[in-house]
């Protein structure tokens, strides 16, 4: 077993273990199971019950609120083939893995039917679909988290994608890179260096406190990869100009360009994270006054069927 796989097994699961680790009584069992890798948990200030990293993994009692649902994006309506989601003409998203290193309590896919949507086991049907749609030039690996796969499985998946001649770009969307930075292995770096595809890796970082020294060292190995970041705007986590501007500046110092700032996907159980549209728009406008344009992520909302909308 590799070092990063051992680290993913060193994970806090369940309210009792988390309360013991954080010297707390805040954790309770709710709908979405608790899962926090120790590499991330060790960044949390145990003395601060309002730590912004803690809040992302701390379950709250669901508040009944209009507009929230178990599957807010209804991904399966855009899935012509199991394991593949096609919302944009030129690109498809593959459910590369059903596993995440961490359970963020705002995750919009926490109720997704992963058992039927697995890109590896459904690969032949996926390949046939992509080959019959030559307008598709990009494949996005998501999940779960694609970096929860072993290097060997990732290599098989990438090799399969490379065989489709009209695919030019390969994009990873990953939370694992920052919460378990040991996942960026020498083997992974070599794999991404040698592929014929242009590789984009989109990290998911919401707060500058997540940017550990281990992550900084690991991510800078990816010298031939375009590095972008997407964040989710979360109440009492990063809903301030100072927090977001620090995040953008610190990301850029690591060679990562701020890309998206997502409004919350309204999944049941995440009601307490909601920042309303007016507040979000004002915040984004103020961010634009403080930062150079290339450091200001786009403020976006995912829609059920109509892809992303810009605010």
Instruction: Give CA–CA dist 205/197, Å, rounded.
Output: 25
Q: Is 18 annotated as a binding residue?
A: no
And the tokens for 180? 């378990």
Nearest Cα neighbor of 187 from 154, 236, 140, 235 is: 154
Report the residue count for the chain. 311
The CA-based angle 220-103-256, given to 5 degrees, is 20
CA separation for the pair 221, 216 (Å, rounded): 9
Whether residue 34 contacts residue 59, with contact meaning beta carbons closer than 8 Å, is answered with yes
Give alpha helix (H) positions in 145-293: 151-162, 176-179, 186-194, 213-219, 241-253, 277-290
Q: How far apart are CA 15 and CA 103, in angstroms?
A: 13
* Residues of each annotated binding site for [4Fe-4S] cluster: 100, 104, 107
């Amino acid at each position: 077993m590799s070092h990063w796989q051992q680290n993913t097994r060193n994970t806090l699961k369940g309210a009792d273990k988390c309360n013991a680790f954080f010297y707390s009584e805040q954790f309770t069992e709710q709908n979405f199971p608790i899962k926090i890798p120790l590499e991330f948990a060790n960044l949390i200030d145990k003395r601060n019950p309002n730590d912004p990293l803690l809040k992302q993994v701390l379950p709250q009692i669901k508040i009944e609120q209009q507009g929230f649902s178990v599957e807010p994006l209804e991904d399966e309506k855009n899935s012509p083939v199991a394991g593949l989601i096609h919302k944009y003409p030129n690109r498809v998203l593959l459910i590369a893995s059903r596993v995440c290193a961490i359970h963020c309590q705002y995750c919009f896919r926490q109720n997704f039917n992963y058992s039927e949507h697995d890109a590896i086991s459904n690969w032949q049907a996926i390949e046939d679909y992509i080959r019959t749609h030559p307008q598709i030039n990009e494949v996005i690996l998501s999940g779960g988290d694609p970096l929860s796969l072993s290097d060997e499985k990732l290599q098989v998946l990438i090799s399969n994608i490379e065989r489709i001649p009209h695919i030019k770009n390969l994009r990873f969307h990953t939370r694992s890179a920052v919460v378990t930075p040991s996942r960026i292995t020498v083997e992974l770096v070599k794999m991404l260096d040698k592929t014929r595809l242009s590789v984009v890796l989109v990290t998911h970082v919401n707060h500058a406190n997540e940017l550990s020294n281990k992550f900084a060292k690991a991510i800078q190995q990816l010298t031939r990869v375009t590095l972008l970041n997407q964040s989710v705007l979360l109440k009492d986590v990063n809903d301030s100009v100072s927090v977001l501007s620090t995040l953008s500046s610190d990301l850029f110092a690591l060679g990562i360009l701020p890309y998206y700032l997502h409004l919350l996907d309204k999944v049941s159980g995440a009601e307490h994270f909601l920042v309303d549209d007016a507040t979000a728009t004002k915040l984004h406008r103020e961010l634009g006054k403080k930062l150079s344009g290339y450091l200001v992520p786009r403020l976006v909302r995912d829609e059920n069927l109509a892809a992303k909308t810009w605010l």
